Amino acid sequence: MKKTLTLLLSLLVSYSYAQNADSVAIRKIYNEALSNGKSYEWLRHLTKQIGPRLSGSAGAQKAVDWTKLVMEQQGFDRVFLQDVMVPHWVRGAKEEAFIHIGKQKMTVPIAALGGSVATPPRGIEAQVIEVKSFPELRALGPEKVKGKIVFYNRPMDPTKINTFEAYGGAVDQRANGATEAAKLGAVGAIVRSMTNVHDDNPHVGGMRYGTGVALIPTAAISTNGADLLSKSLKENPSLTFYFKQNCETLPDAKSYNVVGEIKGSEKPDEIIVVGGHLDSWDLAEGAHDDGAGCVQSMEVLRIMKALGIKPKRTIRAVMFMNEENGLRGGVQYADLAKKNNEKHIAAVESDNGGFTPRGFGIVGKPEQREKIMAWKPLLSPYGLAEIGPGGGGADIGPLAQTGTVLLGFKPDSQRYFDYHHTTVDRFEAVSQRELELGAASMAAIVYLLDAYGL
């Protein structure tokens, strides 16, 4: 009995000692990120010196070269590229659009959706049919839709507290709106921007065409433009809408994922990934989406090195290519991992903006989730309270097939869609402190994943 008690006590002591050592290590991680952090200056370079970097563009290539160089300069054990062929869509000359009522023409801001075809060179002008959903559109039938422009105007639900949920509830209009409209003979599709703010910025994003359906041009209209069009339609149902866009899909281009690595000292064959996506929409500097995630990921490795943390497992920072309009980089990374028989125990992605950290969403088996959730007391002092089941991330998603546990970094979501996929997603929209807290949060979870495995 006495022996068992002594054993229990010594176990407890060693456990609390480990906990204490972990909390000291995590404190040091935050101190390093907040005192000597590099993520903000890196973000400045990525957004201001390189700027927009849609897949296949010169900007994307510059971003590949520069992040590779930065990680080499940091002296990580290995920095390498993974080849990947990516879609190459270009916007061409700026779009034009106006609402036409009698002699009056009211210009509205639009931007072609990524992947869309162009209009004919003279543009398209047609009557407009406004709908809020696909069922509503189908109920109208081809007789009411044929030859018209379908205007999708269902806003993101402002009552959802998590704005990603609101986005998920509206984005079908952007992704599949053109195809659903074309099935009924429409000549174009205009989609209300995915945001809760009322502004003049078209929020772009990816779309895809279904097979066997005519490819009709589709564009995002700013929320103010959408409100004006809706109001005008109520007063003048027979008004016409004109738009012209000049985009084009070129042959696939060669690009790369960029990977930096610190080799594990005890279990080098177990890999932990921390990453973001390097590409951005062509209109944006891509500061929150997803320059923030990239510089935070590089910062995780820098912090470990600066603090002399020698991870047991191999830690990789991955800059994925082509999340925005194809996900080819994420798919290629997982394919190569499988082909090379690599064991990825966990992958952490930051692709929800550089805002104040709130927690991590976990995709994994219940016992794996519970193990991670048990670290909450170590992380909650830093505002990381929301640690539980939830989304991982688009780029790391394909790794789930081979049993990798996915963790999605969750910053506060309230302002993300104010900037998402627009010209205002620029460096100035990111707070240095929030960005650095995010980098530290990711470093802390990677530290724990490495220390205890899964």
- What is the binding site for Zn ion (CB under 5 A)? 289-290, 351
- CA torsion through residues 118, 120, 121, 123, sign: negative
CB of 18 to Zn ion, least distance (A): 36
State the nearest-atom distance from the C-beta of 142 to Zn ion, in Å.
Answer: 36
In the complex, least distance from residue 425 CB atom to Zn ion, rounded to whole angstroms: 10
Residue 323 known to be catalytic: yes
Query: Rounded to an integer, what distance in angstroms lies between the CA atom of residue 67 and that of residue 407?
Result: 23
Burial string for 144-179 (b: 16+ CB within 10 Å, else e) reads ebeebbbbbbbbbeeeeeebbebbeebbebbebbbb
Residue 282, burial from CB neighbour count under 10 angstroms (0-12, 13-18, 19+):
buried
d(CA 68, CA 62) in angstroms, rounded, equals 10
DSSP codes, 309-366: ---SEEEEEEEES-TTTT-HHHHHHHHHHHHTT-EEEEEEE--S-S--EEEEEEES-H
Smallest separation, CB 53 to Zn ion (Å) = 12
Q: Residue 221's closest CA among 195, 191, 246?
A: 191
Residue among 277 and 313 whose Cβ is closer to Zn ion: 277
User: Which residue, 290 or 450, has its beta carbon nearer to Zn ion?
Assistant: 290
Cα 108 to Cα 190: distance, rounded to the nearest angstrom: 12
Q: Closer CB to Zn ion, residue 351 or residue 418?
A: 351
Residue 294 three-state SS: helix
In 10 A of CB 444, how many CB atoms? Answer: 25
Find tokens 């090195």 and name the residue. 305
Residue 284 near residue 429 (C-beta atoms within 8 A): no
Active-site choice (180, 261, 323, 342): 323
Q: Give the residue from 239, 247, 232 showing the smallest Cα distance to 149.
A: 239
C-beta of 288: minimal distance to Zn ion in Å? 8
State which H helix or E strand residue 9 sits in: helix 2-36
* SS3 state at 303: helix
Q: Which one, 290 or 418, has the nearer CB to Zn ion? A: 290
Whole-angstrom Cα distance, residue 55 to residue 88? 6
Cβ–Cβ < 8 Å for 190, 110: yes
Tokens at residue 167, please?
């986005």
Q: Least distance from C-beta 155 to Zn ion, angstroms?
A: 21
Minimum distance, C-beta of residue 248 to Zn ion, in the bound complex (Å): 23
Report the alpha-carbon distance of residue 397 to residue 404 in Å, rounded.
Answer: 9
The rounded distance, in Å, linking the Cα atoms of 20 and 291 is: 34
CB of 286 to Zn ion, least distance (A): 8
Q: Which residues are the active-site residues?
A: 323
